[in-house]
Structure 1
Amino acid sequence: MDTAVELISGSERDESFSMRKLAAELGTDSSSLYRHFRNRTELMLAIVDHVLVQALHGYQRQGTWRTRLVDLMLRSWDAYAVLPQLAKDTSHYPGTGRGSQRVMEETMQALSDAGVPEELVPEWYHRLVSLTVALISAHAASQSSSPTEQKRRLEDLRVITLGADPAEFPALAHYARRIERLGFTRESFLATMELVLDAVPARQEGS
């Protein structure tokens, strides 16, 4: 798993990672990997889960429910920030092992400790995790694009913002020079998640 993560982190494209390349790096052939994983998808699921396990290393269930959820979110962000090629496809490879189980357990336990009504805990779990994954994937996709693609997207953004007709799009024209291309920093990711946590129907103090 560690070798697979290293290969992915060094790839310019997620598509360049394959079972054949991993086998070669390990000094064997791909048939040996197929004894453990039926296909590339199973391997990717295992890699995602491995990353989650590593991200949660040292995590302690302490502090308020909100503190714990923020910790979980930032651990996920930080883990995938250095793996944009993997992170952009996390929605396709949600993980199927202990890492995923741990995230689910800790998230739902924090919501329960917050006093969220029992019938709403699964719903809020899905909201928090879905948004976290979506933001991480979106950020990763923007970071993993080639320099040429990033430049083209920036030019496209400039065209539709700076070229906006003030008479038809007054707000857009007003803020045009302050709009940046899509992509979240760690701070903006946290600020967005804090807004969502504000809406959690908690009955216990969370800050």
Structure 2
Amino acid sequence: MADGRVPEERKRRRPTKTGLLLSEDVIVDCALRLVGQHGPDALSVRRLGAALGCDPSALYRYFHNTDDLLLAVADRIIGGAMEGFEPDTMDWRAGLREMGMRIHRGYRAHPRVAALAAFRVTRRAHEFRAVDTGIGLLLRAGFAPAEAVRWYSVFVDTVLGHAALDAAYMALPDERRGADDLAWGAVYAELPEGEHPHIAAVRPHLSLMAGSSFEGALDLLIGALSAAAP
């Protein structure tokens, strides 16, 4: 199929050896759990088959390959992030901010998947709805169609770019992440003023460099969009 999805007639629900009724949702649930526990190497038909108690070849009735499955997992994250979101009840700026926070939060909850898939196009139902929602908010702001698409691209790349960056950071071992955070208040704060005068001038505030800058970037972007809106 042109879009990479498995035909419906190949998705009949079948029980595994353990009695579990196999389906696309069950496989996605298992993949999401395994990648979260063991990292990208867990996304293999062999490990999924073992975890589900089925022959690995049975998974090909639902997904063409592991990349197809990865896109379905990413789409599940988008769907969960957007669940209950009602942008029609709020100002377009508030709606866009809420949408960005939801998607970023959804990927942060699954950092190992985010590192693999935040930059992918899932071509699935939840992503379709998310794109439609985001462009709709920008059209409501008064942007012309071409501008709405261009600004939505900037918006979603900002959200997903920060999600991937934060996910990679969160996937670090605790001791490395802690060392990086402490460096701003320790190593940087002790740099000699004669060699690094500007760092020395803001020394009491260097700890602000630790953690995510996503909310600040999102607010700057929405402020710029607000100023540019007709």
Q: TM-score, normalised by structure 2?
A: 0.76
Cα distance per residue 1:7-34 (max 9 Å; x no partner):
22333x3334433222222111221112
**Aligned AA for 1:170?**
P
Gaps of 5+ in 2: 1-27
Q: What is the distance in 1 between the residues matched to 2:43 and 2:187? A: 35
Q: Secondary structure at the match of 2:191?
A: coil
| 1:47-196 map, 5 Å | 47-62=73-88, 63-151=90-178, 153-154=180-181, 161-176=188-203, 178-180=205-207, 182-184=210-212, 188-196=213-221
Q: Using a 3 Å threshold, how does the CA distance of structure 1 residues 154 and 182 change in structure 2: closer, same or farther?
A: closer
Shift of 1:81: 2.2
**Aligned AA for 1:23?**
G
Cα distance per residue 1:56-109 (max 9 Å; x no partner):
222223211112112211221221222111122333433220111111101111
**Aligned AA for 1:51?**
I
> What is the aligned partner in structure 1 of residue 224 from structure 2?
199
Shift of 1:193: 0.6
Shift of 1:190: 2.6
**Aligned AA for 2:108?**
A
Aligned residues: 199
Q: What is the distance in 2 between the residues matched to 1:55 and 1:6? A: 17
Q: Does the CA contact (< 8 Å) of 2:104 and 2:162 recur in 1?
A: no
Q: Does the CA contact (< 8 Å) of 2:45 and 2:57 recur in 1?
A: no
Q: Does the CA contact (< 8 Å) of 2:189 and 2:206 recur in 1?
A: no
Higher relative contact order by CA 8 Å / sep ≥ 6: 1 or 2? 1
Q: What is the distance in 2 between the residues matched to 1:109 and 1:92? A: 22
Gaps of 5+ in 1: none
Q: What is the distance in 2 between the residues matched to 1:43 and 1:33? A: 9
Identity of aligned residues (%): 24
Shift of 1:162: 3.5
Q: What is the distance in 1 between the residues matched to 2:103 and 2:79? A: 10
> What is the aligned partner in structure 2 of residue 34 from structure 1?
60
Bigger mean CA offset, 140-149 vs 14-23 = 14-23
Q: Does the CA contact (< 8 Å) of 1:90 and 1:133 recur in 2?
A: no
Q: TM-score, normalised by structure 1?
A: 0.84
Shift of 1:161: 1.7
**Aligned AA for 1:111?**
L
Q: Secondary structure at the match of 1:88?
A: helix
Bigger mean CA offset, 101-110 vs 2-11 = 2-11
Q: Does the CA contact (< 8 Å) of 1:142 and 1:182 recur in 2?
A: no
Q: Using a 3 Å threshold, how does the CA distance of structure 1 residues 174 and 17 change in structure 2: closer, same or farther?
A: farther
Q: Using a 3 Å threshold, how does the CA distance of structure 1 residues 157 and 191 change in structure 2: closer, same or farther?
A: closer
Q: Answer with 1 or 2: which has the greater Rg.
A: 2
> What is the aligned partner in structure 2 of residue 44 from structure 1?
70
Q: Does the CA contact (< 8 Å) of 1:91 and 1:137 recur in 2?
A: yes
> What is the aligned partner in structure 2 of residue 22 from structure 1?
48
